[in-house]
Amino acid sequence: MTKEQYIKVRANLDFKLRYAWLIGHVLGDVLLVALPFALLWNRELTWQWDWTTAGLSLLGASSLAIFYFRAFSMMHEAVHGLLATKRRYNDWGGLFYGAVCFLPFEQWREIHLLHHQWAGNIEKDPVRKLVLVFKQPPTPMRGFLSAMWRSWFPILALLQNYVFWYESLTRFWKKRSLASFLGLAVPLLAWGTVFVLAGPKLCAFVIVPSILLYLALVEVVNFPHHMDLPQYEGDVKLTLWEQYKIARSCFYPKAFERFVLLNFNYHTEHHLYPTLPWYRLEELSLRLRHELHGYNFSVGHAWIRRNRSKPLADVCLSTSEDDSSTRKAA
């Protein structure tokens, strides 16, 4: 995509915020949080196995996992100032939704904006730091990570959160501002309160499974967005109209994209136009698929299924383009 093409497409996009979408999203979140309580209302949780309770608990955990991912997507929107027109409302919304998905909003915002600034650069992009582990000589840790990768246990999502918190703590010690302190403190206080109030049985039946399901969703949905695509080092910095080279969109059933992912799967579109609200990305995707040469995408979980059997080092360090099995027209 040339700069002229980029500007031409941008001129036809609607960047105006629609608060009806935000209100609808909040109502959806209320239903997702209320569902586990409705399912388990007046049902005594015991340590003895009960198929009915187990099934209801799994449904409740799944509902919360969806809520966490939607919170992650909304925190991401807040980073780009897309929840409201005033920054302070984006800050409050980002702080709340960041706490839900256990991420420090103020620091994550800085990390994510650096990710856009240095997209594809594995040395300068803090989100891609995990890749650098596999550029070193093999270690037992690399073997362990590959084993977890093949088993579908969401170890990479856990490690990504570790990277986020490590980077956040580093930034906090440098700045020590009130905003950065709140970013760290609010998720810790919120989740500490949840675990204390929920008690051991509810945590074991619902809370912990919901966290694992959320992490699995993060790993399956988010990791194909930048892996197995061109990587850069040094001071290489791509312009906005070049970032389609290092991003991949993944297509799922529309209801899943809109309600669960909030169109976060349209990642090529987001990297090209990061200030476009999430509810406009689907429309942009239809245009880019027909006009943009070199548009990377995968249908369903094709990419993640194909790469689960490979050594993780090969997946992280590969710079190949999508093959024909994932480049069919959607």
Residue found under tokens 């919360």:
64
Question: What per-residue confidence (pLDDT) applies to 148?
Answer: 87
Question: What per-residue confidence (pLDDT) applies to 29?
Answer: 95
Alpha helices in 176-311, H assignment, sequence order: 178-202, 208-222, 254-255, 267-272, 281-291, 302-307
Question: What per-residue confidence (pLDDT) applies to 216?
Answer: 94
Question: What per-residue confidence (pLDDT) applies to 325?
Answer: 33
Between 71-75, 233-237, 323-327, the lowest mean confidence (pLDDT) is in 323-327
Report d(CA 325, CA 213) in Å as an integer: 27
Exposed, middle or buried: residue 212 (CB in 10 Å: 0-12, 13-18, 19+)? middle
Question: What per-residue confidence (pLDDT) applies to 320?
Answer: 56
> What distance, in Å, lies between the first and last C-alpha atoms of the chain?
21
79-101, pLDDT tens digit by residue? 999 999 999 999 999 999 999 99
Question: What per-residue confidence (pLDDT) applies to 147?
Answer: 87
Residue 68 makes CB contacts below 8 A (sequence gap 6+) with 100, 101, 210, 211, 214
Question: What per-residue confidence (pLDDT) applies to 185?
Answer: 93
- Confidence label for 327 from pLDDT (cuts 50, 70 and 90): very low
pLDDT over 50 (residue 161) = yes
Closest to 232 measured CA to CA, from 124, 79, 72, 321:
124
pLDDT over 90 (residue 194) = yes
- Confidence label for 249 from pLDDT (cuts 50, 70 and 90): very high
The radius of gyration of the chain from alpha carbons, rounded to an integer in Å, stands at 20
Both structure tokens of 85: 């027109």
Map out the domains of the chain as residue ranges.
3-326
Closest to 119 measured CA to CA, from 224, 267, 237:
237
Per the model's pLDDT, the better-predicted residue between 190 and 228 turns out to be: 190
pLDDT over 70 (residue 113) = yes
Summary mean pLDDT of the chain: 88
pLDDT over 70 (residue 330) = no
Both structure tokens of 36: 């586990």
* Top-confidence range, 14-28, 117-131, 136-150: 14-28
Q: What is the mean pLDDT of residues 15-19?
A: 92
Question: What per-residue confidence (pLDDT) applies to 309?
Answer: 84
pLDDT over 80 (residue 133) = no
Residue found under tokens 């094709």:
302
How many beta carbons lie within 10 A of that of residue 253, not counting itself? 10
Residue 213 makes CB contacts below 8 A (sequence gap 6+) with 61, 62, 65
* Contact (Cβ atoms closer than 8 angstroms) between residue 91 and residue 97: no
Strand partners, 232: 121
pLDDT over 60 (residue 326) = no
136-158, pLDDT tens digit by residue? 777 787 788 888 888 888 988 99
Determine the Cα angle at 68 with ends 63 and 73, to 5°: 125
Q: What is the mean pLDDT of residues 239-255?
A: 94
pLDDT over 80 (residue 61) = yes
Strand partners, 250: 298
